[in-house]
Amino acid sequence: MPHPETSARISNLRKVVELLATNSEKLIAEWEKLPDDRYPHYGTDIPSHEAYNAGLVIKAAMGSIEELTSKPTIRLLEVAWSHINARCLHMAAELHVADILAEGGDEGVSIDTLSEKIGIEKHKLTRIMRALASDHIFRQVGPDSFANNIISQAMVDDEPVRSWVALQGLSNFSAVDHLPATLLDPVAGPSYEVTATAFNRAVGTELSFFDWLTGKVPASEATSYYRPATQHPRYVAHANGAAKANQAEKDEELVFRPEEALFNAAMFGSGRVTGTSHVYDYPWGDLGRNATVVDVGGGVGGFAMQLCAAYPSLRFIVQDQPAMIAGAPGVWQETQPGALASGRATLMAHDFFAPNPVKGADVYWFRHVLHNWPDKDATRILSGITPSMGPSSRVLLAEHVTFPPFSSSPPSPPSTTTTNPKAAAATTAPHSPAPAPSPLLANYGRASTFSNQDDLLMLTLFNSIERTPAEYQSVIEGAGLRLVKIWPCRSPVSIIECRLAGVSD
């Protein structure tokens, strides 16, 4: 008779395999409903609610199967060395490997051609590509040739998505390398100041991430991380770097950091990848005609453009720093021509730490804003909104909502009880949704990886956080608001609805 622990393991494995099989059939059934010309889960398409829900369970089950079937020591080493594959992916994105492979179609591109185009010796490059293909990114289609697969294809001719991947290979990766020393530092470790981060230690700056990002550097430094100039003062010791930079500034033109353009493109890409469902999983149509949506810290207005196309009756005000707003008209003209000229969309320079000048808007929308700031700063940002709100105004926060794997209140998939996608969110799960089915981890385990990774990246760059519901509630109430509901979406990013404290819905 098996050992009791073995019996439990056998039982759990059978349950997980059953969940995997059942939800795979649900997903297949949804795929079979698609039109002949549509490929499932490609690019930024939004899956049906049923397909999304099944996908969450499948991904969680895959993680549980790995736990139940792996040799523990090998699994530990796989995770410990996972940074190596990540680094390979950073290089592939920065060097446009997917775009080059696309030229060869299904037959792929030879390693000789790839090596010649990107400048890495072919035998070393083969090993990099083999590792990524074995991790289901790219395909090896012959002894010496590679092609795209459905994963790598997402970077082809999509500069925002490629930039989002490549960005992680620049200062972000170096900053994570400095996280242990920062956490153990007697001063920086307990601090939640935006200038006492692992990023500050890695880059050798006393500036916050955004102040550093928008600064200018000598032209010799403004090169790709993977094709650096002879000297990169920002990557050496702070004292030496400052001295060299000061000397360079006397002799060279100052230009914007290349990371800034990459960051801006990446944020546009992240919005399309994680934010498209927000157009359909919140009942925007219930706002009424000519309702005003203020996109606070909205960059060039990527999300407002998406809403503008889907809801012709809405009006938009996009707010951000002057430099960002200055570049927005061209993007609007290309994406939503006529919206600015007709007055449906307005661009406004605004610092979201100051009181908001737009009074009584229907929605004040923040996407990926609060997660960049520690609690005291996040509360301060929201406090700039509350004096401007009217009785029917609402604040909507598009953010990751994190849950522990043992919690009874993990994120729940969107409801499927309505066939109207624009009204789907009206019947979503309540504030405390049910956990994933047993024996899966309650927060869907592997399916919550991206949210947990982003949480730690926020810690690394800003001393900030991807919050739990209770942590959001604390920040929200500190600004004179109340948390009304968390709207789960077909995305790792949820919508958190807030109203003025003391004002009924």
In the structure, what pLDDT confidence band is assigned to residue 272 with cuts at 50, 70 and 90?
A: confident
Q: Under CATH, what is the fold of the domain 81-155?
A: Arc Repressor Mutant, subunit A (1.10.10)
Candidate from 33-37, 100-104, 316-320 with smallest mean pLDDT? 33-37
Which of 219-223, 264-268, 272-276, 442-446 holds the top average pLDDT?
442-446
Return mean pLDDT, the chain: 87
Instruction: Report which residue type is found at 474.
Output: S
Give yes or no for residue 208 having a pLDDT over 60.
yes
Count of CB atoms situated within 10 Å of the CB of 164:
24
Report pLDDT digits (tens) over 418-430.
Answer: 333 333 333 333 3
Instruction: Report which residue type is found at 191.
Output: S
Report pLDDT digits (tens) over 307-320.
Answer: 999 999 999 999 99
Residue-wise DSSP of 102-128: HTTGGG-EEHHHHHHHHT--HHHHHHH
Q: Quick check: is 371 catalytic?
A: yes
The CA distance from 249 to 154, in Å, is 40
Which pLDDT score is estimated for 250? 54
364 to 111, 158, 347: CA distances (angstroms): 51, 29, 14
Report pLDDT digits (tens) over 163-184.
Answer: 889 888 877 888 999 999 999 9
Of 49, 178, 371, 400, the active-site residue reads 371
391 to 98, 365, 478, 498, 500: CA distances (angstroms): 50, 16, 18, 12, 7
Above pLDDT 70, what percent of the chain? Answer: 88
Which pLDDT score is estimated for 412? 56
Q: Does the domain made of 280-500 have the CATH classification 3.40.50.150? A: yes
Report pLDDT digits (tens) over 328-368.
Answer: 999 899 999 999 999 999 999 999 999 999 999 999 999 99
Give yes or no for residue 226 having a pLDDT over 70.
no
For residue 217, what are the β-bridge partners?
255
The CA distance from 302 to 373, in Å, is 21
Average pLDDT over residues 69-90: 95
Average pLDDT over residues 245-266: 71
Candidate from 188-192, 208-212, 261-265 with smallest mean pLDDT? 261-265
0.85 exceeded by pTM: yes
Instruction: Report which residue type is found at 496.
Output: I
Kindly state the DSSP code that residue 340 receives in the 8-state scheme: H
Give yes or no for residue 281 having a pLDDT over 80.
yes
Strand arrangement of the beta sheet that strand 145-147 belongs to: 109-110, 145-147, 139-142
Average pLDDT over residues 409-437: 49
Candidate from 56-60, 63-67, 261-265, 440-444 with smallest mean pLDDT? 261-265
Which pLDDT score is estimated for 411? 56
Give yes or no for residue 489 having a pLDDT over 50.
yes
Average pLDDT over residues 77-98: 95
Report pLDDT digits (tens) over 367-384.
Answer: 999 999 999 999 999 999
491 to 80, 114, 270, 315, 353: CA distances (angstroms): 27, 34, 11, 25, 28
Measured distance between the N- and C-terminal CA atoms of the chain, rounded to whole angstroms: 60
Which pLDDT score is estimated for 131? 97
